[in-house]
Amino acid sequence: MSLMDSIAPSHLSMPVSGPVSAEDLGEILTRLRAAQPLVQCLTNTVVTNFTANALLALGAAPAMVDVPVEADEFARIASGVLVNLGTPHGEQRAGMLEAARAANAVGTPWVLDPVAVGALSVRTAFAGKAMELRPAVVRANASEVIALAGTGAGGRGVDATDGVESARGAALALAARTGGTVAVSGPVDLVLDAGRAVRVHGGSALLTRVTGGGCSLGAVTAAFAAAAGDPFAGAVAAHAMYAVASEAAAERCSGPGTFAPAFLDALASTTPEDLAKKAVLR
Protein backbone atom coordinates (compact mmCIF):
# COMPACT_ATOMS: atom_id res chain seq x y z
CA MET A 1 0.00 0.00 0.00
CA SER A 2 1.35 3.42 -0.96
CA LEU A 3 1.48 6.44 1.35
CA MET A 4 -1.29 8.06 -0.68
CA ASP A 5 -3.46 4.95 -0.38
CA SER A 6 -2.94 4.83 3.36
CA ILE A 7 -4.26 8.35 3.91
CA ALA A 8 -6.99 8.50 1.31
CA PRO A 9 -10.45 9.60 2.53
CA SER A 10 -11.81 6.05 2.77
CA HIS A 11 -9.27 5.25 5.48
CA LEU A 12 -10.44 7.97 7.86
CA SER A 13 -12.62 7.23 10.87
CA MET A 14 -16.40 7.29 11.07
CA PRO A 15 -17.88 10.80 11.14
CA VAL A 16 -18.75 12.97 14.09
CA SER A 17 -22.25 14.41 13.77
CA GLY A 18 -24.58 16.54 15.87
CA PRO A 19 -23.41 18.99 18.54
CA VAL A 20 -19.67 19.16 19.20
CA SER A 21 -18.29 18.83 22.73
CA ALA A 22 -14.80 19.42 24.08
CA GLU A 23 -14.39 15.65 24.34
CA ASP A 24 -15.20 15.32 20.64
CA LEU A 25 -12.34 17.69 19.85
CA GLY A 26 -9.81 15.40 21.50
CA GLU A 27 -11.20 12.40 19.63
CA ILE A 28 -10.98 14.23 16.30
CA LEU A 29 -7.35 15.18 16.95
CA THR A 30 -6.59 11.54 17.80
CA ARG A 31 -8.16 10.48 14.50
CA LEU A 32 -6.21 13.10 12.60
CA ARG A 33 -2.85 12.03 13.94
CA ALA A 34 -3.64 8.38 13.30
CA ALA A 35 -4.76 9.01 9.72
CA GLN A 36 -2.22 11.74 8.79
CA PRO A 37 -4.62 13.25 6.22
CA LEU A 38 -3.14 14.41 2.95
CA VAL A 39 -4.16 18.02 2.34
CA GLN A 40 -3.88 19.51 -1.13
CA CYS A 41 -3.19 23.23 -0.80
CA LEU A 42 -3.94 25.55 -3.68
CA THR A 43 -2.84 28.60 -1.78
CA ASN A 44 -1.07 31.90 -2.10
CA THR A 45 2.61 32.29 -2.72
CA VAL A 46 3.20 34.29 0.46
CA VAL A 47 2.22 31.52 2.86
CA THR A 48 3.13 28.17 1.29
CA ASN A 49 6.03 27.41 3.62
CA PHE A 50 4.22 28.33 6.83
CA THR A 51 1.10 26.45 5.74
CA ALA A 52 3.07 23.31 4.95
CA ASN A 53 4.89 23.50 8.27
CA ALA A 54 1.64 24.02 10.19
CA LEU A 55 0.16 20.88 8.64
CA LEU A 56 3.29 18.87 9.36
CA ALA A 57 3.41 20.10 12.95
CA LEU A 58 -0.23 19.18 13.43
CA GLY A 59 0.30 15.65 12.13
CA ALA A 60 -1.09 16.00 8.62
CA ALA A 61 0.67 15.86 5.25
CA PRO A 62 0.79 18.89 2.91
CA ALA A 63 0.91 18.87 -0.88
CA MET A 64 1.09 22.14 -2.82
CA VAL A 65 -0.36 20.91 -6.12
CA ASP A 66 -2.05 23.69 -8.09
CA VAL A 67 -1.07 23.05 -11.72
CA PRO A 68 -4.07 22.43 -14.02
CA VAL A 69 -4.61 18.74 -14.85
CA GLU A 70 -2.47 17.72 -11.87
CA ALA A 71 -4.83 19.63 -9.57
CA ASP A 72 -7.70 17.41 -10.70
CA GLU A 73 -5.63 14.25 -10.40
CA PHE A 74 -4.37 15.05 -6.93
CA ALA A 75 -7.72 16.12 -5.51
CA ARG A 76 -9.01 12.63 -6.24
CA ILE A 77 -6.49 11.07 -3.86
CA ALA A 78 -6.26 13.83 -1.25
CA SER A 79 -8.04 13.63 2.10
CA GLY A 80 -8.92 17.33 2.05
CA VAL A 81 -8.43 20.31 -0.25
CA LEU A 82 -7.78 24.01 0.45
CA VAL A 83 -8.59 26.72 -2.10
CA ASN A 84 -7.07 30.02 -0.89
CA LEU A 85 -7.50 33.12 -3.07
CA GLY A 86 -4.55 35.11 -1.74
CA THR A 87 -2.61 35.38 -5.02
CA PRO A 88 -5.00 33.99 -7.66
CA HIS A 89 -3.06 34.04 -10.93
CA GLY A 90 -4.80 32.67 -14.00
CA GLU A 91 -3.30 29.19 -14.15
CA GLN A 92 -3.89 28.66 -10.45
CA ARG A 93 -7.54 29.71 -10.75
CA ALA A 94 -8.05 27.02 -13.38
CA GLY A 95 -6.42 24.48 -11.09
CA MET A 96 -8.60 25.56 -8.18
CA LEU A 97 -11.82 24.93 -10.09
CA GLU A 98 -10.49 21.56 -11.23
CA ALA A 99 -9.58 20.56 -7.69
CA ALA A 100 -12.94 21.65 -6.27
CA ARG A 101 -14.87 19.72 -8.92
CA ALA A 102 -12.72 16.63 -8.42
CA ALA A 103 -13.07 16.83 -4.63
CA ASN A 104 -16.84 16.99 -5.00
CA ALA A 105 -16.80 14.04 -7.39
CA VAL A 106 -15.09 11.76 -4.86
CA GLY A 107 -16.70 13.16 -1.71
CA THR A 108 -13.62 14.91 -0.34
CA PRO A 109 -14.16 18.03 1.82
CA TRP A 110 -12.75 21.22 0.38
CA VAL A 111 -12.30 24.56 2.10
CA LEU A 112 -12.64 27.98 0.46
CA ASP A 113 -10.65 30.87 1.95
CA PRO A 114 -11.81 33.95 -0.01
CA VAL A 115 -8.89 36.21 0.88
CA ALA A 116 -9.60 39.94 0.37
CA VAL A 117 -12.85 39.44 -1.56
CA GLY A 118 -14.99 42.50 -2.01
CA ALA A 119 -12.13 44.95 -2.29
CA LEU A 120 -10.54 43.38 -5.37
CA SER A 121 -12.41 42.56 -8.56
CA VAL A 122 -10.69 39.47 -9.99
CA ARG A 123 -10.81 37.38 -6.82
CA THR A 124 -14.33 38.56 -6.00
CA ALA A 125 -15.67 37.37 -9.35
CA PHE A 126 -13.74 34.13 -9.03
CA ALA A 127 -15.01 33.52 -5.50
CA GLY A 128 -18.54 33.61 -6.89
CA LYS A 129 -17.63 30.82 -9.33
CA ALA A 130 -16.02 28.81 -6.54
CA MET A 131 -19.11 29.16 -4.36
CA GLU A 132 -21.17 27.50 -7.09
CA LEU A 133 -19.12 24.36 -6.40
CA ARG A 134 -20.41 24.30 -2.81
CA PRO A 135 -17.35 24.21 -0.52
CA ALA A 136 -17.70 22.05 2.56
CA VAL A 137 -16.32 24.95 4.62
CA VAL A 138 -15.94 28.65 3.94
CA ARG A 139 -13.28 30.03 6.30
CA ALA A 140 -12.88 33.80 6.33
CA ASN A 141 -12.85 36.92 8.42
CA ALA A 142 -16.06 38.86 9.02
CA SER A 143 -15.57 41.40 6.22
CA GLU A 144 -14.82 38.64 3.71
CA VAL A 145 -17.93 36.71 4.74
CA ILE A 146 -20.10 39.80 4.37
CA ALA A 147 -18.59 40.60 0.96
CA LEU A 148 -18.96 37.02 -0.24
CA ALA A 149 -22.64 37.13 0.69
CA GLY A 150 -23.00 40.32 -1.37
CA THR A 151 -23.90 42.58 1.55
CA GLY A 152 -20.64 44.49 1.93
CA ALA A 153 -17.55 45.74 0.12
CA GLY A 154 -14.89 43.82 2.02
CA GLY A 155 -12.29 44.93 4.49
CA ARG A 156 -8.92 46.67 4.28
CA GLY A 157 -7.09 44.18 2.08
CA VAL A 158 -6.79 40.99 4.12
CA ASP A 159 -7.84 42.71 7.36
CA ALA A 160 -11.42 42.73 8.62
CA THR A 161 -13.18 46.00 9.36
CA ASP A 162 -16.36 44.29 10.61
CA GLY A 163 -17.06 42.41 13.83
CA VAL A 164 -17.70 38.68 13.88
CA GLU A 165 -21.26 38.98 15.19
CA SER A 166 -22.15 41.47 12.46
CA ALA A 167 -21.33 38.73 9.93
CA ARG A 168 -23.70 36.16 11.42
CA GLY A 169 -26.55 36.86 8.99
CA ALA A 170 -24.20 36.73 6.02
CA ALA A 171 -22.65 33.50 7.32
CA LEU A 172 -26.08 31.90 7.63
CA ALA A 173 -26.89 32.97 4.08
CA LEU A 174 -23.67 31.42 2.78
CA ALA A 175 -24.30 28.20 4.72
CA ALA A 176 -27.77 27.98 3.17
CA ARG A 177 -26.28 28.58 -0.27
CA THR A 178 -23.60 25.91 -0.01
CA GLY A 179 -25.26 23.43 2.32
CA GLY A 180 -22.00 23.48 4.26
CA THR A 181 -20.22 25.19 7.14
CA VAL A 182 -19.06 28.79 7.50
CA ALA A 183 -16.32 29.70 9.97
CA VAL A 184 -15.91 33.40 10.77
CA SER A 185 -12.55 34.14 12.35
CA GLY A 186 -11.99 36.91 14.87
CA PRO A 187 -11.33 37.51 18.57
CA VAL A 188 -14.12 34.95 19.14
CA ASP A 189 -14.60 32.60 16.19
CA LEU A 190 -18.12 31.75 15.02
CA VAL A 191 -18.65 28.40 13.29
CA LEU A 192 -22.09 27.54 11.95
CA ASP A 193 -24.07 25.52 9.47
CA ALA A 194 -27.81 25.36 8.79
CA GLY A 195 -28.63 23.84 12.17
CA ARG A 196 -25.68 24.32 14.51
CA ALA A 197 -23.55 27.19 15.80
CA VAL A 198 -20.53 27.26 18.13
CA ARG A 199 -18.35 30.13 19.30
CA VAL A 200 -14.71 29.26 19.91
CA HIS A 201 -13.09 31.51 22.52
CA GLY A 202 -9.45 32.14 23.20
CA GLY A 203 -6.35 32.49 21.05
CA SER A 204 -3.59 35.04 20.67
CA ALA A 205 -3.58 38.26 18.65
CA LEU A 206 -0.01 37.39 17.64
CA LEU A 207 -1.53 35.13 14.99
CA THR A 208 -2.42 38.31 13.10
CA ARG A 209 1.20 39.51 13.20
CA VAL A 210 2.86 36.63 11.37
CA THR A 211 2.55 35.76 7.70
CA GLY A 212 0.23 32.82 7.16
CA GLY A 213 -1.45 32.83 10.56
CA GLY A 214 -4.90 32.96 9.02
CA CYS A 215 -4.24 31.24 5.71
CA SER A 216 -2.74 28.17 7.35
CA LEU A 217 -5.93 27.83 9.40
CA GLY A 218 -7.76 27.04 6.16
CA ALA A 219 -5.42 24.12 5.51
CA VAL A 220 -5.73 22.91 9.09
CA THR A 221 -9.52 23.14 8.75
CA ALA A 222 -9.34 20.88 5.69
CA ALA A 223 -7.28 18.36 7.68
CA PHE A 224 -9.69 18.37 10.61
CA ALA A 225 -12.73 18.16 8.33
CA ALA A 226 -11.26 15.05 6.77
CA ALA A 227 -10.51 13.49 10.16
CA ALA A 228 -13.91 14.35 11.64
CA GLY A 229 -15.97 13.19 8.66
CA ASP A 230 -18.18 16.22 9.41
CA PRO A 231 -17.11 19.66 8.11
CA PHE A 232 -18.81 21.48 10.99
CA ALA A 233 -17.09 19.41 13.69
CA GLY A 234 -13.82 19.65 11.80
CA ALA A 235 -14.03 23.43 11.56
CA VAL A 236 -14.77 23.74 15.27
CA ALA A 237 -11.84 21.46 16.10
CA ALA A 238 -9.48 23.40 13.84
CA HIS A 239 -10.37 26.76 15.37
CA ALA A 240 -10.15 25.34 18.89
CA MET A 241 -6.73 23.88 18.11
CA TYR A 242 -5.55 27.26 16.87
CA ALA A 243 -6.85 28.98 19.98
CA VAL A 244 -5.18 26.54 22.37
CA ALA A 245 -1.88 26.33 20.46
CA SER A 246 -1.58 30.09 19.93
CA GLU A 247 -2.16 30.77 23.63
CA ALA A 248 0.54 28.26 24.53
CA ALA A 249 2.93 29.82 22.02
CA ALA A 250 2.24 33.35 23.28
CA GLU A 251 3.21 32.33 26.80
CA ARG A 252 6.69 31.25 25.73
CA CYS A 253 7.61 33.84 23.08
CA SER A 254 8.85 37.43 23.20
CA GLY A 255 7.13 38.76 20.08
CA PRO A 256 6.09 37.88 16.51
CA GLY A 257 9.54 36.65 15.51
CA THR A 258 9.64 33.98 18.20
CA PHE A 259 5.88 33.37 18.12
CA ALA A 260 5.88 31.68 14.70
CA PRO A 261 8.22 28.78 15.62
CA ALA A 262 6.66 28.53 19.08
CA PHE A 263 3.24 28.18 17.44
CA LEU A 264 4.47 25.33 15.24
CA ASP A 265 5.90 23.65 18.33
CA ALA A 266 2.57 24.11 20.13
CA LEU A 267 0.64 22.56 17.23
CA ALA A 268 2.89 19.53 17.53
CA SER A 269 2.88 19.27 21.33
CA THR A 270 -0.82 19.88 22.03
CA THR A 271 -2.32 16.51 22.95
CA PRO A 272 -5.92 15.39 22.50
CA GLU A 273 -6.28 15.70 26.26
CA ASP A 274 -4.94 19.28 26.17
CA LEU A 275 -7.38 20.20 23.44
CA ALA A 276 -10.36 18.70 25.23
CA LYS A 277 -9.40 20.37 28.52
CA LYS A 278 -8.40 23.83 27.30
CA ALA A 279 -10.79 24.51 24.41
CA VAL A 280 -13.55 26.98 25.29
CA LEU A 281 -16.78 26.44 23.32
CA ARG A 282 -20.03 28.31 23.81
Is residue 247 a contact partner of residue 204, using CB atoms and an 8 Å limit? yes
Is 64 annotated in a binding site? The answer is yes
Is 269 annotated in a binding site? The answer is no
Is 185 annotated in a binding site? The answer is yes
Beta bridge partners of 111: 82, 137
Pairing label, strands 137-141, 110-113? parallel
d(CA 121, CA 123): 6
Residue 42: DSSP 8-state: E
Which residue ranges make up the annotated binding site? 64, 139, 185, 212
Which residue ranges make up the annotated binding site for ATP? 139, 185
Which residue ranges make up the annotated binding site for substrate? 64, 212
